Amino acid sequence: MAADSLIPLPKSVNVSLKAPLNIGELPAQKVRRSKRRPYVFNLMVAGDSGLGKSTFINTLFNAPLRENPGAKHLASVQTVDIQPTTYELFEENVTLHLTVVDTPGFGDTLNRDADFNPIAQYIDAQYDKYLKAERSDEKRGNILDSRIHALLYFLPPTGNGLRDLDIEFLSRFCTKVNIIPVIGKGDGLSPEESAMYKKAILKDLARNDIRTYPTHHAEDRDHLAKFEKFIPFSVVGSDDYIVKNGVKVRARVYRWGAVEVENEQHCDFVHLREMLIRTNMQDLIDTTHLVHYSLYRSGKMGGESSSNGRPASVLACDDDMYDNQMQNAKKVAMDEMKMKEEQMRQNFISRVRDKEAELRAREEALNAKRKQMMDEIDAMRRQLEM
Ligand code: GDP
């Protein structure tokens, strides 16, 4: 039996407050506090060179983050480079420390190990860093989180379903990080070709039991219904603009016309951006902690991480067992969080109760003093009358 289960949970008592304490301000305080501390989001991009990854990052964050597209990797280098860069973005009093990890050189050789190992090593190294910080009793909020929260995997606009390389990559990494497959250079496909390609990709993902985000992970499913029909997102990136109805819009210009990045008739860019930034960024961070990192940590505790990305403790199990392990890891982490929340709530209630008792004692002391003064005044009045 775990030692924790021997500790009795604190008794919960409902208290009806006599006067408002402004507990309702707590969420606002939380928002103010969280705004003071920068948010951290770490995004990795992988996929063949030239699929528009750097251009896409610039388009996604609407800033020239990645410069020199195309000139990032020395052709002579026989392995993938890992290039993390951190940017500080600031909007409406919120600071976002965004780290983009580029992986130039991917798919340039026919060597899978040279493509996959540097990426796996980088991801594991960040989990290790986090684990060390946790073991040194650092509070979660103070740990510098460099773990990859989302991995955008770019598929070429071939229209032919997943290649062996894609299947191997996605299978290996889908249990390690939140992986989101996207079709790069989506303007290379007609709407019909794009629809067929998506169908073929979804079929291949299901056939190979590849668990991608958000289909297999996101908790927050309310938001997802509207995105699901666009998955896998087909995206177009551009560093250029055109003027349409007097407004500057990002677009790729061709002799026959322009493909507008933010036009949902032209590609799924806006839906992917909405999911990544507006609705699911926090869920990606939470899923990384509760699912992928928990799995890594439990794998570390039960032995070293295996070479295929699954922790050793879940290496030998089938997919149902793997799902169970994931659910268990998530449940343990959720229970831990709930317990901490409950402890904080109880502390708060007991502080409120102490304060109430203190106020009551003060009120009684004042009443006694007042009574004593009244008695003295009465006695004086009686003496004067006499
Ligand atoms: P990366 O190597 O995957 O990072 O690709 P880059 O972003 O460097 O882009 C390679 C080339 O593709 C550049 O010439 C870009 O202008 C072009 N490109 C980027 N995004 C798109 C796109 O969505 N559609 C098309 N047709 N070209 C693109």
201-230: per-residue pLDDT in tens?
Answer: 999 999 999 999 987 766 666 677 778 889
Q: Which of 276, 287, 271 is nearest to 147 (CA)?
A: 287
Judged by average pLDDT, the poorest of 139-143, 157-161, 191-195, 240-244 is 139-143
Cα angle: 158, vertex 163, 169; to 5 degrees: 125
Report which protein residue has its CA nearest ligand 1's atom 24. Answer: 185
User: What pLDDT was estimated at residue 1?
Assistant: 46
Report which protein residue has its CA nearest ligand 1's atom 20. Answer: 52
Judged by average pLDDT, the poorest of 78-82, 136-140, 243-247 is 136-140
Q: Is 50 in the pocket of ligand 1 (CB under 6 A)?
A: yes
User: What pLDDT was estimated at residue 326?
Assistant: 66
Q: Which of 16, 10, 22, 39 is nearest to 338 (CA)?
A: 10
Can you read off the two tokens belonging to residue 213? 């985000």
Q: How far apart are the first and last CA of the chain?
A: 81
Tell me the average pLDDT across 259-274: 92
Can you read off the two tokens belonging to residue 365? 């002391």
User: What pLDDT was estimated at residue 221?
Assistant: 65
Sign of CA dihedral 113, 153, 97, 133: negative
Interstrand relation of 241-244 and 94-102 (parallel, antiparallel or unpaired): unpaired
* 96-115 tens-digit pLDDT: 899 999 998 887 777 888 88
Dihedral-angle region of residue 346 (phi above 0 means left; psi in -120 to 50 means alpha; beta otherwise): alpha
Q: Which of 127, 69, 78 is nearest to 102 (CA)?
A: 69
Do residues 260 and 226 touch, judged by C-beta distance below 8 A? no
Query: What length does the chain have?
Result: 386
* Domain positions in the chain: 1-27+320-386, 37-316
Interface TM-score (ipTM) > 0.90: yes
pTM value is 0.73
Better-predicted residue by pLDDT, 28 or 73: 28
User: What pLDDT was estimated at residue 79?
Assistant: 67
Q: How confident is the model at residue 14 (pLDDT cuts 50, 70, 90)?
A: confident
Q: Is 191 in the pocket of ligand 1 (CB under 6 A)?
A: no
Beta strands in the chain (DSSP E): 39-47, 83-91, 94-102, 150-155, 179-183, 233-234, 241-244, 247-254, 257-260
User: What pLDDT was estimated at residue 323?
Assistant: 64
pLDDT surpasses 80 at 8:
no
Place of tokens 């773990």: 147
Atom number, ligand 1, closest to the C-alpha of residue 236: 23
Better-predicted residue by pLDDT, 283 or 19: 283
**How far is the centre of ligand 1, averaged over its atoms, from the C-alpha of 15 (Å)?**
61
Q: How confident is the model at residue 375 (pLDDT cuts 50, 70, 90)?
A: very high
User: What pLDDT was estimated at residue 305?
Assistant: 44
Q: How confident is the model at residue 317 (pLDDT cuts 50, 70, 90)?
A: very low
pLDDT surpasses 80 at 145:
yes
Q: Is 266 in the pocket of ligand 1 (CB under 6 A)?
A: no
Domain 37-316 in this protein, CATH class: alpha beta
Q: Is the peptide bond before 214 cis (omega within 30 degrees of 0)?
A: yes
Q: Is 60 in the pocket of ligand 1 (CB under 6 A)?
A: no
**How far is the centre of ligand 1, averaged over its atoms, from the C-alpha of 49 (Å)?**
9
User: What pLDDT was estimated at residue 111?
Assistant: 81
**How far is the centre of ligand 1, averaged over its atoms, from the C-alpha of 51 (Å)?**
5
Q: Report percent pLDDT > 90 for the chain.
A: 44
Q: Is 252 in the pocket of ligand 1 (CB under 6 A)?
A: yes
* 267-304 tens-digit pLDDT: 999 999 999 998 889 989 999 998 999 999 988 876 54
